[in-house]
Amino acid sequence: MTYEAIQYELGDGVATVTLNRPDVHNAFNSLMQRELHTLWRALRRHDPVRCIVLTGAGDKAFSAGGDLKERDGMTDEAWRLQHAIIEEGVYAIVNCSVPVIAAVNGVAFGGGCEIALCCDFIYAASAAMFGQPEVTRGIMPGAGGTQNLPRAVGERRAKELILSGRPFTAREAYEWGMINRVCEPQELMPQALETARAIAANAPIAVRQAKKAIAYGMETDLDTAMILAIEAYNATVVTEDRLEGVRAFNEKRKPNFKGR
């Protein structure tokens, strides 16, 4: 498919998705949201995709959030209809079976910060800035920020950040445990892609099952989580990839995983 507001590339099992409205700091308009939703649904069913990297075009912004120029004067009904597309896009990222890495190359405010938080983990450029300023515009985070930010940085700090609307730096986000790695700007994509390729080289069923076990396990008690994890583990035992992995180890070669 061809897109206007995003870019999509696939190589070595890694899909790179770029928010592509750099003239407005990659702000989300209705077109971008529809395109992201369409792409994400397709990626979930596209077997060659084993890891996804999400980033922004240019060197200034990952995404500044919702396009407030487009939203200026929107009726309540039009706003809700647009936001329904955003909600579906967020759920598509959260429920994506393959790992998603956010490579935050600049400003990630509002919905931009929220979508980064929906990814499995985040790498950020040293100059990147984050923030949830929605309350300064008369609304509140509506794409998972009130749920994902507390899980990433703790309830009390999340309340401070969301209720004040104040921005914070990549270094602060790293120290609080929200992001995994702070990179020099020129190293951000190379490092994100290096990790994505490492993930893509592993057994895809095993990766998906491990991601599922972590995600569901974190939302329940430990005993239930252990049961869920064993069920996920058992799904890998019956695969051809399990046989190939053990065989490759004993033959001292790199495994050739097929996702079967």
User: What is the set of active-site residues?
Assistant: 114, 134
233: nearest Cα among 258, 205, 201: 205
Task: Give the distance from CA 247 to its chain's centroid.
Answer: 33
Between CA 252 and CA 260 the distance in angstroms is: 21
Q: How would you classify residue 144: left for phi > 0, otherwise alpha for psi between -120 and 50, otherwise beta?
A: left
Between CA 187 and CA 43 the distance in angstroms is: 26
Q: Tell me the β-bridge partners of 102.
A: 54, 122
Between CA 234 and CA 41 the distance in angstroms is: 27
Q: How would you classify residue 29: left for phi > 0, otherwise alpha for psi between -120 and 50, otherwise beta?
A: beta
Helix or strand or coil: residue 125?
strand
Q: Tell me the β-bridge partners of 104.
A: 124
Between CA 27 and CA 67 the distance in angstroms is: 5
